[in-house]
Amino acid sequence: MESTHKNTKSELASLAPAEVVPINYSDSEATVYGKDGSGNNAIVQVTIPPAHISNPLLKLYIGYLQSPLFLGLRPSTRYTKAIEFRNFYKYIAENKQYESSGLPYNIVNLYFIKLKGTSERTSFYNEEMILRVPLKLFNKTVVDGFDKDKFAHVSLANYLVFFPNFPPPHSLPKKSMAELFGQKNTPYSDTELMQSLRLGCCFLLNKLSDIREKLMSNKHVLKQINALKTAEYDNKPLILNSQSNNFTVDYAPPKQIDNLSWEIIKKANLQIYETIVNNADPLTLEIFTFRSFPKAKLNSLEAKLTTLQWVQEFKNNLQTTASIYTKRTYGKNSYLLRRLDNITPKFLICPSDFEIYLIQCLLASESIQREGLNIHLLSDFSINIESTQIQYNKGRRDKSSATPIYTRQNLPYQCYTRYIEQRKVAKEYSFADSNKTLDYSTVTTAKGHIGFTAKSLHLFELLLSNESEVTRQYKDELGSEGDAFLWLIKRMWQHNQIAYNETLTNSRNKKKLNDLTGASKRESRVIGLTPDAITMSRKRMDDTVTISKKEGPETARSQSEPAVQAELTSHSLATKHNVYGNRSNSKEAIESERNFGAQVGDLMVEDALKVGEYLKDVKKINLSEIKDLLGLTSGYEDIEQLLENVDAELWGGFQHNGQVIIVISEVTAMLLKGYINHLHNEIPRLFLDSQLKGQDAQKKLAYLSTIFNSFPPDIQREGKKLLEEFDIPFPSLV
């Protein structure tokens, strides 16, 4: 009986499930799948150096990278952490002295000492925390998603003892455009800078699109560009996919493209060249020849040459061989004429990185933050013949938001639609294609380092000279409204040129000393016109809350001043008010409670008067009356047909001669009621985002509710019934 029982137990044991081990699990290496800073899928391979294959610290890190705890993180977080582990392992592999002696307990500290000596950064707190987290898991009793017992080792405590303990960096709010150079040094507010930036970006985008369309309207240019579409050669994607592959009329890298393929592209370049010279448009010539010709020597014959003459001289000196520079001699002077690479077949086929950056600035001005820009797709644009609207996401929030609706008369509509159309054209010429809105050839362009090393942004230099054709047209069309953006570009260029020159000097010095280790530190920091700065300016513009520092020298103050009373109790002014002023038995609270009802009543009356003023401009009419009002000759059978032919609001009203016209119908009632319900849902979130937005939405809610309640009862009922039948989506107001 006993033997039978034992046999049964052994049989049950054999049927027990085996320990589940991932197929790609390894003790010495980990493959991490994540997303890089641009939102693209990325793979990071982390491998223990062969000489340290049994080190408990390195094995712990590999186990952590393969644990469910780590795999549950966001893709971008996984990528960032894996990169830091990989860099740490790379440092260990490069230091051969540890192969025989083993890793010292202070190895992490030595790693950060090396980083501090070769980096311009001032804080490594985040990197230190990434390496510390797996060790700190051993201090917890239970850790979900990580088997800490599997990696337990007595030496891990010693590594933790010698770990560096960096203080967290001083947290500062992100700077807006008005704060990039200090508010004292900025003569414009965020509102002025934001409005000017949008106008400036639209101006530049439309000018470049005009140049492209004029050239493509030439039948000879169009023929050569179409030949690129139908040409059969292996290097076809090289036309588009890299900034360095912008093949020009006089130069093509022999290792990147064969002679036959280059000849096809060269024909197109020559035709573009001929067309630009024949048209002699000052703006096109200026952009075409930008940074292409040398500065003539003083008191020389060539100093009198016009831009058009320089172009002609360049044409006369074109060589049949592929060379970077063409030499031209004038008398005793010799010049190197550089290649013309601003307007090439690539420019005519797809938007340049400069244009993509301008689109990035426009999207950031719509409050689309950096993470939202990284994942933004062309399909997020909703465009028709009359209007356009853009959908986007904010950070970790699942719900999508939307920009205002731009009609054909708005500059953003023109810029967005032309950009999308050009991206569609680009798909016809390239095998590889991305659906991302910001499809940069050189991703560092997105940093907005105007005046530093980003070649794509050097066209901004044309705005620095008052004599340039771009600046002349800019000032003629935008007037004083464009001054703020012009000031920002000039200021940023001047600042970053100092850092650029310092970088060149350091590089030359390192070459002289034959020092190839690490990077040289700069005293000057580079400033970029980033999405962070633009979105922060938008927040400052939309929000009424302002933070300012006390100016001027200290003066004698009375103890009755609120700031002095706060200091005497070792509190900030806000804490003093919250802790003491809000107490129910304080004299401040009692005084406030006495007048609370009156204060609220006054505010309600004030808001009601504002709504009343708005309602004075509202006119409610029926469908037959609106035909007479607008002088329409075509007959509209219903309100839907009418709304398609006027610039209507989302809730059905439209402007006419300073009045808001509302057609009394079931459809209008349905739209009104639907938008009122939408406002009810959005107001709590609007107050979290901006106090001003929340207050404006409340006023609009009262305004629209009053209009809806003035409709006949039967129309109201029919509108509510229609709303139950149809699901009408309204864009998020946040």
pLDDT in tens, 675-715: 888 888 888 878 777 777 888 888 888 878 888 888 888 88
The number of helix segments (H) and strand segments (E) in the chain equals 28, 11
| Torsion angle of C-alpha atoms 174, 179, 183, 189, degrees rounded to 10 | -110
245-259, 439-453, 648-662: range with lowest mean pLDDT: 245-259
pLDDT at 321: 40
pLDDT band at 21; cut points 50, 70, 90: very low
pLDDT at residue 53 above 60?
Answer: yes
pLDDT at 319: 45
pLDDT at residue 121 above 90?
Answer: no
Task: Please report which helix (H) or strand (E) contains residue 656, including its range.
Answer: strand 654-656
Q: In this predicted model, what pLDDT tens digit does every residue of 184-199 receive, in sequence order?
A: 888 999 999 999 999 9
Residue 637 dihedral angles phi and psi, to the nearest 5°: -75, -30
pLDDT winner (highest mean) among 6-10, 178-182, 546-550 = 178-182
pLDDT at residue 615 above 80?
Answer: no
Q: In this predicted model, what pLDDT tens digit does every residue of 592-604 receive, in sequence order?
A: 666 656 665 666 5
User: DSSP E strands: which ranges in 359-496?
Assistant: 381-383, 387-393, 400-402, 406-407
pLDDT winner (highest mean) among 109-123, 391-405, 449-463, 474-488 = 474-488
Mean pLDDT of 239-261: 55
Estimate the crossing angle of helix 469-478 against helix 190-216, to 10 degrees.
120
pLDDT at 334: 65
Q: Which of 207, 198, 199 has its CA nearest to residue 287?
A: 207
Angle 84-162-520 (CA atoms, 0-180°, nearest 5)? 50
pLDDT at residue 36 above 50?
Answer: yes
pLDDT at 160: 86
Other CB atoms within 10 Å distance of the CB of residue 392: 21
pLDDT winner (highest mean) among 317-321, 372-376, 620-624, 723-727 = 372-376
**How far is it, in rounded angstroms, from Cα 583 to Cα 66?**
53
Measured on CA atoms in the order 11, 12, 15, 19, is the torsion positive or negative?
Answer: negative
Other CB atoms within 10 Å distance of the CB of residue 670: 24
Three-state SS at 89 = helix
145-159, 223-237, 283-297: range with lowest mean pLDDT: 223-237
**How far is it, in rounded angstroms, from Cα 218 to Cα 211?**
11
pLDDT at 552: 43
User: What is the pTM assigned to this prediction?
Assistant: 0.65
pLDDT at 200: 95
pLDDT at residue 636 above 50?
Answer: no
pLDDT band at 267; cut points 50, 70, 90: confident
Three-state SS at 390 = strand
pLDDT at residue 374 above 60?
Answer: yes
pLDDT winner (highest mean) among 44-53, 552-561, 643-652 = 44-53
Q: In this predicted model, what pLDDT tens digit does every residue of 132-141 receive, in sequence order?
A: 889 888 877 7
Q: Are 131 and 92 in contact (CB under 8 A)?
A: no
* % of the chain residues with pLDDT over 70: 66
Q: How many CA atoms lie within 13 A of 484 on its CB side?
A: 18
Burial of 262 by CB count in 10 Å (0-12 exposed, 13-18 middle, 19+ buried)? buried
pLDDT band at 550; cut points 50, 70, 90: very low
Q: Are 625 and 642 in contact (CB under 8 A)?
A: no
Give the mean pLDDT of the chain. Answer: 77
**How far is it, in rounded angstroms, from Cα 579 to Cα 477?**
55
> Of 565 and 404, which is predicted with more confidence?
404
pLDDT band at 331; cut points 50, 70, 90: low
pLDDT at 473: 94
pLDDT band at 547; cut points 50, 70, 90: very low
pLDDT at residue 419 above 80?
Answer: yes
* % of the chain residues with pLDDT over 90: 20
Residue 24 dihedral angles phi and psi, to the nearest 5°: -95, 20
Residue 391 dihedral angles phi and psi, to the nearest 5°: -95, 145
pLDDT at 117: 80
**How far is it, in rounded angstroms, from Cα 451 to Cα 282?**
24
pLDDT band at 535; cut points 50, 70, 90: very high
Mean pLDDT of 545-572: 56
Helix, strand, coil % over all residues of the chain, rounded to 5: 55, 5, 35
Other CB atoms within 10 Å distance of the CB of residue 635: 7
Task: Please report which helix (H) or strand (E) contains residue 618, including its range.
Answer: strand 618-621
pLDDT at residue 489 above 90?
Answer: yes
Q: Are 533 and 174 in contact (CB under 8 A)?
A: yes
pLDDT at 624: 56
> Of 174 and 419, which is predicted with more confidence?
419
Residues 6+ apart with CB under 8 A from 3: none
Q: In this predicted model, what pLDDT tens digit does every residue of 83-120 receive, in sequence order?
A: 999 999 999 999 888 888 889 999 999 998 888 887 77
pLDDT at residue 632 above 60?
Answer: no
